[in-house]
Amino acid sequence: MKAELRGLLSKHHLVWQGNAGQRREGGVSTGFAGLDQALPTRGWPWGALTEIAVPYWGLGELRLLLPAMVDLNRQKRQIVWVAPPYLPYAPALTRAGLDLQYVLVVDTQPGNVSWAMERLSSTRSCGMVLAWPAHLSEVEARRLQLAAETGGGIGIVMRAGGAKWRAPAAALRLEIEPRDEEIEINILKSRGGCRRPRVSITV
């Protein structure tokens, strides 16, 4: 491909290129060795959207993300929560090692969750953007994936058991189930393949 054409395509992120998924490798460690080993990026993938499905809130989905949040926080990257079902408890986040100066909670109308996440994910200052959409169309999911690629951070959409939507455009899709004192993570989709489709961890 000629240099002029490569330069033009790099400015337009809505143009899909067949080798686009290979341009950025690696990710941020999840903090759980078994999960890192199962994922081709050795952690949460950079510049990508991840869907995490749980049967109910409070199963451990946030504790699963905390090590990566702390890592990004130390790099002075913003951690943004968009429309969480419960207000985050600031003292617990501080005890976990987060600097609240780099944690932002966005309260928005249900119909604006995807829009807000897209705008935030496309900015370089955001290391991780988490959102809890009540509804998400396939078009919105694709836009969120493209926004994460533009911003280069980590996009996370959370889905509870009763939700009808899915995010097929996401680079990584996980489903979490309770198992005694552990949680079992089913890797439904992983761009680049996965080494183990099921991982059990203690959070």
Q: CA 48 to CA 54: how far, in whole Å? A: 20
The per-residue pLDDT string of the chain (203 residues; one tens digit each, 9 = 90 and over) reads 455 545 544 444 344 343 333 334 589 999 999 999 999 999 999 999 999 999 999 888 999 999 999 999 999 999 999 999 999 999 999 999 999 999 999 999 888 999 999 999 999 999 999 999 999 999 999 999 999 999 999 999 999 987 889 999 999 999 999 888 889 999 999 988 877 899 998 87
What sign does the CA torsion over 86, 73, 32, 171 have? positive
CB atoms within 10 A of CB 105: 14
DSSP 165: -
pTM: 0.84
Please provide residue 161's backbone torsions phi and psi, each rounded to the nearest 5 degrees. Answer: -50, -40
Looking at residue 76, its pLDDT comes to 93
Identify the three-state secondary structure at position 158. strand
Looking at residue 203, its pLDDT comes to 77
The CATH superfamily of 26-201 is P-loop containing nucleotide triphosphate hydrolases (3.40.50.300)
Strands 172-179 and 182-190: antiparallel
Where are the domains positioned within the chain? 26-201
